[in-house]
Amino acid sequence: MLEIKQLYYFKIVAEHLNFTKAAKSLNMSQPPLSYQIKKLEEYLGVDLFNRTNKYITLTEAGKYFYDISQSTLSNLENQIDIVKQIGKGELYNLKIGFGGSVVHDLLPEIIHYVKFKYPKLELTVQQYTTAQQVLALKNGEIDIGILVPPLNDLSINTLSIRQEEFIVCLHKNHPFANKTEPLSVSSFKNECIITPPNEAGSSYFDGIISLCKLGGFSPDITLSAQEQHTMVSFVASKLGISFVPYSTSRIINKNVVYKKLLEKVYKETALAWNSTNHNPAVHLFISIIKEIIT
């Protein structure tokens, strides 16, 4: 069986490329160190070092295994820090930004799951557009974003957590309101289409544009609204129709109906975090989300 101490011993020897110096840095004698490295090589079935009377070097397998060892040991240390802080009650606050389309289903599900597993982890949530979330992540105002990718910022990491199709929101008296079959986007080429503003998050807006292109037209956009509730209210007031992600259909308004579309374009939702954020709660939260989506 592979032991953690063997990874650590190997890492030290690989960095010194000298058993005597490595043993000294580990505050142990050389024979036990050489024995542990030999056991590791036997377990792996490969030589990790080229040995001569004067010096040692890493084999190709050894170079690759060194990278694995570094990554494994670093990740283990991070997780141990998280465990210690959870045990001490020090892991208590995580600031989360979110877009409006997740508030009706995904966000409550995440919050319930997190609070069940880690009751000491305090969550502070605030609604932002995707553009605002990216800025807040860079400035350290939030730790986690739930937004619409892709992003054009290499400092922000993302993890896709949902793909949902666009549907159409219509007034209850719209000519197509009573149709039972999926509707073609081309049917709405002469309609006023209510969209979110492009500057709030271009990916969402671009998804609607792509949908209209599949229908063979460019949308007539005379009205924009940032919030899903507002767009639905505008449709209810007969100000136009709106292509919205499926989750928006959870907004109940007696004056609107939601219909599926023949053409398929999907809105992606992703978790986002700043790669330089060292808050251990961030890594814990990401691992929780992976549990939910797998």
Q: Which CATH number fits domain 163-267: 3.40.190.10, 3.90.245.10, 3.30.70.3040, 3.30.70.870?
A: 3.40.190.10
In CATH, the number for domain 93-160+269-293 is 3.40.190.10
Q: Are 87 and 32 in contact (CB under 8 A)?
A: no
Cα 86 to its chain centre, rounded Å, is 22
User: What is the distance between the alpha carbons of residues 123 and 105, in angstroms, rounded to a whole number?
Assistant: 17
* CATH topology agreement for domains 4-88 and 163-267: no
- Predicted confidence at residue 91, as pLDDT, reads 64
Spatial CA neighbour of 244 closest among 169, 181, 135, 153: 169
Instruction: Classify residue 121 by burial, with Cβ atoms within 10 Å: 0-12, 13-18, 19+.
Output: middle
- Predicted confidence at residue 75, as pLDDT, reads 83
Q: List the chain pLDDT tens, one digit each, 294 residues.
A: 788 999 999 999 999 999 999 999 999 999 999 999 999 999 999 999 999 888 899 999 999 999 999 999 988 887 787 777 766 655 668 999 998 888 888 899 999 998 888 887 889 999 998 889 999 999 999 999 999 998 888 899 999 999 999 999 999 999 999 999 999 999 999 999 999 888 776 788 999 999 999 999 999 888 999 889 999 999 999 999 999 999 999 999 999 999 999 999 999 999 999 998 878 788 888 988 988 887
Neighbours of 257 (CB within 10 A): 19
User: Residue 144: which H helix or E strand, with range?
Assistant: strand 144-147
Q: Is 226 helix (H, G, I), strand (E, B) or coil?
A: coil
Spatial CA neighbour of 250 closest among 106, 64, 86: 106
pTM above 0.85, yes or no: no
Q: Are 231 and 242 in contact (CB under 8 A)?
A: yes
CATH topology of domain 4-88: Arc Repressor Mutant, subunit A (1.10.10)
User: What is the distance between the alpha carbons of residues 6 and 8, in angstroms, rounded to a whole number?
Assistant: 5
- Predicted confidence at residue 87, as pLDDT, reads 66
Q: Are 10 and 43 in contact (CB under 8 A)?
A: no
Domain boundaries, the chain: 4-88, 93-160+269-293, 163-267
